[in-house]
Structure 1
Amino acid sequence: MTSNIVTVTTPVEKEAFLNVPASIYQNDPNWVQPLRSSIAKQLAPSSPFSQYGQLQQFVALSEGQMVGRIVAAVNRRLIEKEGKPIGLFGYFECIEDFEVARSLLETACQWLRDRGMTKIRGPIDLSIHNNCLFLVDGFDSPPTIMMPYNPPYYPEFLEKAGWQKAKDAYAYHFPLDKPLPSKFEKAYKIACQSGITFRPICLKEPGFERDCRSLYHLFTKAFAHNWSSTPRSEAEFLEEAKELQPLVDPDLFPIAEDNGDAIGFWMGLPDYNIPLKQVNGKLNWLGLLKFLWYRRQIHQARVIAVCSLPEYRRKMVPLALIYLGMQGGIKKHKPYQSAELSWVWEDNHSSRKLIEAAGGKIHKTYRIYEKEI
C-alpha cells in the first residue's frame, strides 16, 4: 500500500495520532486501550521530557485513512549515560502492511539522522519508564496493567526491515494457589532477626509523599545501571507516584527498612487493565462508572519491581520481600488468583533465578530492537 507520512503539528493531527490504535485493534479481543489523556500528556510540549529531549510525531495516511503512527525521539539523558548518539522510536502502530511500516520507520530514522543520531532503538516511548518493548511471544492473553501489547506482525516487520534484536525481557506467571518454598518464610525470619523491619506503604498524606521520596532515592540507586534506563528527577517520580496512588493495594507493597531507612520494596498493583478494557481509553463520567463497576472483576495482580540494596542480600531481604508480597496477595478476602511479575531482562540472571525459585514461569517474551542509521 502506498502511504503518505505526515508530520504531526496541528491539534487535528494530534487527535488523529491518538485515534490510530482504535482502528488497528478493533477486532483484537486482547487489546486494552491506553488512556488517551495519559498519551497526550506524555507528548505535550509542557511535559517533563521537553526539558531533556526532542520528539516528533508522524502519522501515515492512505486514501484519507490513518493507517499508522510513530514517534521519533532524542533523549539526551540516555545519550549522556551511554556516551553514544542513540535515538528512539516509540508509540508505533500500523496496519498489516509492510510498506506502511517501512515508511514510518524510515521517516523516524531520517529525522534522527538529521539530528546526528547514528543508531535507533525501540520501541521505547521516550524512556523505558513509559511503555516499551514489542511482544514477541504470548499473544493469547491481554496485557496486565502498564504492559505493552501488539500484533504478531510488528516484530516480523522490523526484522524484515533489517532491525536486530537488542535484548529480550520476560513476564513471569505465578499461580497463587501453590505455597512458596519454605526457604522464603525462613528468609523473612532471618531478615527480621537481623534488625530489618517491614511495613506496608503509607497511602495517606503526608506519609505517602514521604515514602515516595525515600523510594525515589532507593530506586535511583538500585537501578542506576539498568540497561537503557535513564534517571528521573524527584519531581517526575513523585508525579508518576501520585497518579498511581489511588490504585495501590498496600498489602501488595511492603517496604523493608533498616533503622528507619528504606532499603528494599516489593511493588505490586491490582491488574486494573481488567476494568480499563471496558472504558475505551476515556475516563469521562461514563468511563469512570464502567471502571468502578468492572474493577470488581479484578482477579490478578502485577508485580512491577522487587528491589533491595545489594548489601542487604545476605540478610535475605529480597526473599523476605517476595514472601511478604505473596502473603499479602493471598490474605483472606483478597481477589487475587494469580500474579504476573513483569518485566525482567533476559540477562538479569540473579533476579530470574530468584523468581524461578519462587515458582514463576515465563509466559510472555518481549523484545527491544536496534538498527544502525
Structure 2
Amino acid sequence: MSAITVRPVLSKADTKAFIELAYRLNGDDPHWVPPLRAEVAATIDPKKNGWFSHAEAQLFLAERGGKVVGRISAHIDRLALEMPREQGFGPGTGFWGLFEAEDAEVAKTVIETAEQWLRDKGLTKAIGPVSLSIWEEPGLLVKGHDHSPTVLMGHHPARYQGWIEALGYTEAKKLVTYELNVAQEFPPLIQRIVSNGEKNPRIRIRKVDKSKFAEEAAIILAILNDAWSDNWGFIPLTQPEIDDVGKKLKPLVFEDLIRIAELDGEPVAFMVTLPDLNEAIKPLKGSLLPFGWAKLLLWLRRPQVLTMRVPLMGVVKRLQSSRMASQLAFMLIEQIRRAAVSNYGASRGEIGWILEDNQGMVAIADAIESHVNREYLIYHKPI
C-alpha cells in the first residue's frame, strides 16, 4: 500500500478537495445528511465565519497514491485559552475537528499531524472533534447512527470511535440529545405547572419580533451568556459570530417558535426552536443547483416538518435551581410545542445538545417523558 502524505490546505483546489471528501466517504450512509457545499465553504472561510475573529485554524489533507483519503483541522481558540481549566479548556488547550478518514491508518496520520501542529504552537492538550467552534458541531456521534441528525448536528461513521480511542483519547464530556413525541400532551403535573404559570400576572411568555431581529438577538444573547457561563466548555458568543449566525439562521426564524419569558417585565429566559432544515436539504445532495434553491425557498416560506429541534434555551443564573426556573422552562416548551404541532405539522421534537451531567436540563427532559436518542463524545489527550 502506498505511503500516506499529509499537506496543508493552501489553494482553492485543496479547499474543494477538503470539502468533497466528506461526500465520498459518507455518501453511502442513508442517514448522513449532505450539507450544502456553500455552507461548508463558509464555515472554513475566515472572511465568512465570525469565529475566526478570536481563533485560527489550519486545514490538512491526507493523500495516498494521489487520492485524497483523509482530512482534519487543527485550531486554537483564544477565548478557550482564557477559560478556567475546571471548565474544560483553559491554558494549553488546542482542538482538532472536521475529521474524515478512509481507514485507521489515515485516521492516525491526520490526528497526529493535528497534534504536532498544536504542539508547535506551544499547546499541551488536544480536544476533539470540535468542528470548528464548540457552538457548531462538537463531539463524535457514538449512539444514534440509525437515524439522521437534525439541523446543525453532526453524523459520523461508527468506526471512527475505535480509531480515535486507539490513539489514547479518553472521554472529556458526553453530550446528548433528547427525543419526544410533541403531538402528545405532557403529563398532568406539567400541564398544571404550565396552567398556573399562565395565570401568574408576573409572567409573560412572548414571541420574538422578527422585525426587530437585532434587538431580540441581543436579549437572547445576554440571557444565554449569563445562563451558560458556568457550564463546561462554555465560550461566550462574540458579536462577529452572532452577526454571521444571524445571517445564516434568519430564514429559519419563525416568531412562534422562538420565545422569551419575562418576569416582572424583565427578560429572564428564552427558548429557540428550529424546523428541521435537514428534512429539506437531504434530497438536494449538497447542491442548490439546478432546482434545489427553488425547492428550498418554497419550503422556507412555511415549512411542514416531522421534527423540530431546540438547540438553545436558558434561564438567567439568579433563577436557576428555583421552582420559577422550571416553571418558565415548561411554559416555554409547552407554548412552542402547541405552535409546532398546529402551525407546522410537527410530531417529533429533539432537545439538545445537552451536557450529560446538566442535572437541571436532564430533569426537565425526564419530566416531559423524552428519551436520549443520540450521544456525542468530546475526547481529550495530553500532547
TM range (shorter): over 0.9
- Asked whether 1:186 is paired with 2:185, we answer no
- Find the aligned partners of 2:258 and 2:269 in 1 and give their Cα distance: 11
Aligned 8 A contact 1:171 1:341 in 2: yes
Aligned 8 A contact 1:275 1:292 in 2: no
Aligned 8 A contact 2:203 2:261 in 1: yes
Look up the match of 1:93: 100
Look up the match of 2:87: none
Aligned 8 A contact 2:58 2:75 in 1: yes
Q: Deviations over 1:205-249 (max 9, x none)?
A: xx2221111111111111112211211223421331232111123
Segments of 4+ moved more than 4 angstroms: 292-297
Q: Deviations over 1:280-300 (max 9, x none)?
A: 223345221243466766211
Counterpart selection for 2:347 from 333, 337, 354: 337
Aligned 8 A contact 2:190 2:367 in 1: no
- Asked whether 1:111 is paired with 2:117, we answer yes
Look up the match of 1:208: 213
- Find the aligned partners of 1:93 and 1:140 in 2 and give their Cα distance: 19
Any unmatched runs of 5+ in structure 1?
A: none
Aligned 8 A contact 2:63 2:70 in 1: yes
Q: For this pair of structures, how many residues does the alignment match?
A: 369
Deviation at 1:259, TM superposition (A): 4.2
Q: For residues 71 and 130 of structure 1, do their structure 2 counterparts lie closer, same or farther at Cα, with a shift above 3 Å needed?
A: same
- Find the aligned partners of 1:79 and 1:107 in 2 and give their Cα distance: 21
Aligned 8 A contact 1:216 1:234 in 2: no
**Partner SS for 1:350:** helix
- Find the aligned partners of 2:352 and 2:375 in 1 and give their Cα distance: 10
- Find the aligned partners of 2:8 and 2:100 in 1 and give their Cα distance: 15
Q: Comparing 286-295 with 256-265, which one deviates more in the overlay?
A: 286-295
Mapping of residues 53-72 of structure 1, within 5 Å: 53-72=55-74
- Find the aligned partners of 1:51 and 1:254 in 2 and give their Cα distance: 29
Q: Deviations over 1:146-166 (max 9, x none)?
A: 100000011110011111111
Look up the match of 2:316: 309
**Partner SS for 1:230:** coil
Give the counterpart letter for 1:153 in structure 2: R
Give the counterpart letter for 2:193 in structure 1: A
Any unmatched runs of 5+ in structure 2?
A: 85-89
Mapping of residues 128-207 of structure 1, within 5 Å: 128-192=134-198, 193-204=200-211, 207=212
Aligned 8 A contact 2:226 2:317 in 1: no
Look up the match of 1:79: 81
Look up the match of 1:229: 234
- Find the aligned partners of 2:265 and 2:215 in 1 and give their Cα distance: 12
Give the fraction of aligned pairs with identical amino acids, expressed as a percent. 30
**Partner SS for 2:191:** helix
Question: TM-score, length-normalised on structure 2?
Answer: 0.91
Q: Deviations over 1:108-164 (max 9, x none)?
A: 000000001100001112321111111101111111111000000111100111111
Q: Comparing 284-293 with 311-320, which one deviates more in the overlay?
A: 284-293
Q: Deviations over 1:20-60 (max 9, x none)?
A: 10110121111111222222222223243333222100011
Deviation at 1:350, TM superposition (A): 1.6
Deviation at 1:107, TM superposition (A): 0.1
Question: TM-score, length-normalised on structure 1?
Answer: 0.94
Aligned 8 A contact 1:278 1:291 in 2: no
- Find the aligned partners of 2:240 and 2:53 in 1 and give their Cα distance: 13
Q: Deviations over 1:50-106 (max 9, x none)?
A: 3322210001111121111100001110011133210000111111x1100000000
Aligned 8 A contact 1:212 1:238 in 2: no
Q: Deviations over 1:247-291 (max 9, x none)?
A: 123222221113443211111111110111122223345221243
Look up the match of 1:320: 331
Q: For residues 183 and 311 of structure 1, do their structure 2 counterparts lie closer, same or farther at Cα, with a shift above 3 Å needed?
A: farther
- Find the aligned partners of 1:22 and 1:359 in 2 and give their Cα distance: 36
**Partner SS for 1:146:** coil
- Find the aligned partners of 2:347 and 2:330 in 1 and give their Cα distance: 21
- Find the aligned partners of 1:73 and 1:176 in 2 and give their Cα distance: 39
Look up the match of 1:279: 284
Q: Comparing 107-116 with 175-184, which one deviates more in the overlay?
A: 175-184
Give the counterpart letter for 2:121 in structure 1: R
**Partner SS for 2:221:** helix
Give the counterpart letter for 2:330 in structure 1: L
